Amino acid sequence: MERGEEKMSNIIETPEQAKQDATYYQALRELLLQLADDDLLISFRGSEWLGLAPHIEEDVAYSSITQNTMGHAVMYYNLLEELGEGRADILAHDRQPDERRNGCYLEKRNGEGMYLEEPYYDWALAVVRNYFYETCKKIKLEAIANSSYQPLAHVARKVLMEHPYHLAHWKLWMKQLQSSTDEAKKRMQTRIDEAWVEFADVLELGNLATDMRKHRLVTISEEEIKDKWLDEVKTILVDLPEGPVGKKYGSGRNGEHTDDLKQALDILAEVYNSDKAAAW
Amino acid sequence: MKEITRQEEIFNVLKTVDDPELPSVSVYDLGMVHDVRIDGNSVEIKMVPTFAGCPALEFIEMNVKKAVEELAWVRACQVKFTMEIQWSTDAITDKGKEELKKHGIAPPPENFRPGDEWTVNCPYCNSDYTSMENIFGPTACRSILYCMACRNPFEAMKPVVQPLNTNY
Ligand SMILES: [Zn+2]
């Protein structure tokens, strides 16, 4: 306990300092990959909606949120680059599915069909997914705004200033569609029930969760993140699904993923793969 | 004494480098300049990014470097974006706010508290009879509004400030 307490007061200001403790470094690296990959995948799926949102103002709003979220991913990849984990571009484009740390639910296809062919995407999925994710993101950001790793704490504080607009946007859609027509209600409930059995790994921190907490990379535990998230979504969901939140496809935090991730990465990196040495 | 003059020279240059997406509003007036250090003929400028997803940052970095290096005594200028402090719309100068208005962009509200409703006056006729059409606009920092008085659509900078009740 004494050792733990001593660690609590330690502030790590530079990549060099972070590397002095191997456990600290591993936990930090893992956390940054999770944060970066989550934002990357949800914004990739968001980018596929460009031009397809239900109305023109929504198209402007959703693409703005998506672009900004991609910017958040870039900041985390940059922190990894500063740690010597390789160039941010390569980290985003050129890692195998089993090296990816995003929650499985975030890689899920937007619906049936393909962007360039017949995109029969489901708006209910977009709304539920983004609302669940942004709610979780807020809780996590607050838990790293006082992170022992100063460069990460700074990024979290910045993202927290922009994030309220994102969350408010999806919360409004949730409220409106859940009190709309019978068809809307039914489609929303289907996607809520689906998310309920898939979302859990998004809320989790993976195998190194204990180290992350011990080194104060995050200031609350995984259990607290889940409890806070549940308290929040309970205020919005009209019909709360029964049972605990599950992770049907395993844990993306440990590199377990669905085929949808491969499909996403193939498209995401198509241009990059066509000429890896090009400067964009 | 000489150093102070040089510092002022740099700031005068920064007041002429515009945000690529807001021509005539300088990066200085947007509150993006955090620190200027001069060491002999080298200059290091620390800047604060506005929105994270802003694609203009790389252009701004390039333009600032180029403009400062045009000063006869500057051999090299290094521009770094820092996250040490967080940009907020409160950092926009009064001149910046005036320039935004000339562009048809209403400046952010003053003394805004997160969660507050805010009224936006039309940058053309100053009426407060306006409506928010879309909180998200053509760039992350802007919203789209409509003025019922002069019947013009316009944009506004959305307030970005630190959330309340934080312990950091
Ligand atoms: Zn007007």
CA distance B164 to chain A (A): 10
* pLDDT of the residue at A68: 93
Strands B105-106, B153-157: pairing is parallel
- Radius of gyration (C-alpha) of chain A in whole angstroms: 19
- The CA distances from residue A104 to A109, A184, A206, A257, B161, in Å, are 11, 25, 12, 6, 33
Nearest alpha-carbon partner for B62 in B42, B79, B49: B79
Contacts of B27 (CB under 8 A, 6+ apart): B14, B17, B18, B19, B33, B47, B60, B64
Shared domain check, B74 and B10: yes
Does the pLDDT value for residue A8 go beyond 60?
no
By DSSP bridging, strand B22-26 and strand B18-19 are antiparallel
| ipTM of the complex, rounded to two decimals | 0.87
CATH code of the domain in which B18 resides: 3.30.300.130
Kindly list the residues from chain B whose CB atom is less than 8 angstroms away from the CB atom of residue A155. Answer: 83
- pLDDT (tens digit per residue) in A182-212: 999 999 999 999 999 999 999 999 999 999 9
Q: Do the domain assignments include residue B109?
A: yes
Which residues are B153's β-sheet partners?
Answer: B146
State the residue range of the domain holding B118. Answer: 104-157
**Lowest-pLDDT range of A196-200, B14-18, B57-61:** B57-61
Predicted model pTM: 0.92
Most B CBs within 10 A among A39, A44, A56, A64, hence the mutation to make, goes to: A64
Tell me, yes or no, whether A211 lies in a domain: yes
Q: Hey, are the CB atoms on A61 and B136 less than 8 Å from each other?
A: yes
CB within 8 Å of chain A, chain B residues 70-109: 83-84, 86-88
Q: What is the pLDDT of residues A110-131, one digit of tens each?
A: 998 887 788 899 999 999 999 9
Q: How confident is the model at residue A4 (pLDDT cuts 50, 70, 90)?
A: very low
Please indicate, yes or no, if residue A213 is contained in any of the structural domains: yes
Q: Is residue A279 part of a domain?
A: no
**Does B67 reside within a domain?**
yes
Residue A261 has pLDDT above 70, yes or no: yes
The residue segments making up the domain with residue A60 are 18-274
